[in-house]
Amino acid sequence: MQHDLNNIKKQQLELEQLCLSEHAAKSSKSLGRKNPEQPCPIRTEFQRDRDRILHSKAFRRLKHKTQVFLSPLGDHYRTRMTHTLEVSQIARTIARALRLNEDLTEAIALGHDLGHTPFGHSGEYVLNELLDNGFKHNEQSLRVVDSLEPLNLTEETRDGILNHTGFGKPFTMEGQIVKVADRIAYLNHDIDDAERAGLIKENELPEYAVNVLGKGKSERIAFIIKDIIRNSENSIEMSYECDNAMNNVLRNWMFTHIYTDSPAKTEENKARKIIRDLFYFYVEHFHLIKKDSDDKKERLVADYIAGMTDRFAMADYMNKFMPRSWQDITNCNVH
């Protein structure tokens, strides 16, 4: 039996109109792309966005970028990629329950951290200090998909990526889902990683948060997801009790005990030095990375460094700043 390719796309668009909520973003009504393209005969526009992000080089590099623990030795600690996948799973669960567009939700989730630096927020803080106009990873994620590895994404996906953090509010409910799913994911998996590292114990978590959200990662995530589903109609919302327990009590506790003052952060000064020294080195030796662009030199250096993985940054630092024997240098030149 042969399938009519044109009918496959048509059926998907009809299913969106028939099955999705009135509040869902519909592919047929997308605001489109900066550079118009011929439509795919099989996939919707948001499916194309998701696929482009998934196949991008920036996405592949996430597997070697820090989430919280710098260069963890254990196989089960989260990286920026596994964080991204967990955000996607949580976001799609909420989107499906609310009959919103899962394809758009997944595209935003997969692309939201493409601009993250090596060494997590430590690298971001350094570049923010060094650039005149500052550096924010959400803005860099948009720069990645717009300029550095131009994917020509839809406006809905671009907006969700840009506004997944900070004070901006995504104009689609799918983008709003990713914004809250990002926090649900990192708070809970960072607790899990901190327990694995022996930094905290489950019974040390704030009592109020445990009483409201539940014990253990799975119970907490399930409670928060169900709370959002119950309380969301025209926008993504959660109850006051759930919001207070997660975003105030639990998050503040995590900043105090894990994110800003814990043994997991003892290497961050070294990581910041690596980023800072590499930045100044490439500003001085700009010819090593110069690209055909009208952007300022410092901006292009930040692009180059932000795209590095942790291990590439460390290897590059060793190569640039640590002495080597003349035999090693000779062998490198020979080969």
253 — pLDDT class (breaks 50, 70, 90):
very high
pLDDT at 150 over 60: yes
Query: Which residues, 6 or more positions from 298, have their beta carbon under 8 angstroms from its beta carbon?
Result: 130, 131, 132, 279, 283
3 — pLDDT class (breaks 50, 70, 90):
low
For 87-123, what is each residue's pLDDT tens digit?
999 999 999 999 999 999 999 999 999 999 999 999 9
- Tokens 């596994």 belong to residue: 82
Class in CATH terms, 45-312? mainly alpha
Rounded Cα–Cα distance for residues 44 and 32 (Å): 11
Rounded Cα–Cα distance for residues 227 and 93 (Å): 13
335 — pLDDT class (breaks 50, 70, 90):
very low
Contact 254/264 with Cβ under 8 angstroms? no
Interval 200-228 mean pLDDT: 96
- Domains of the chain by residue range: 45-312
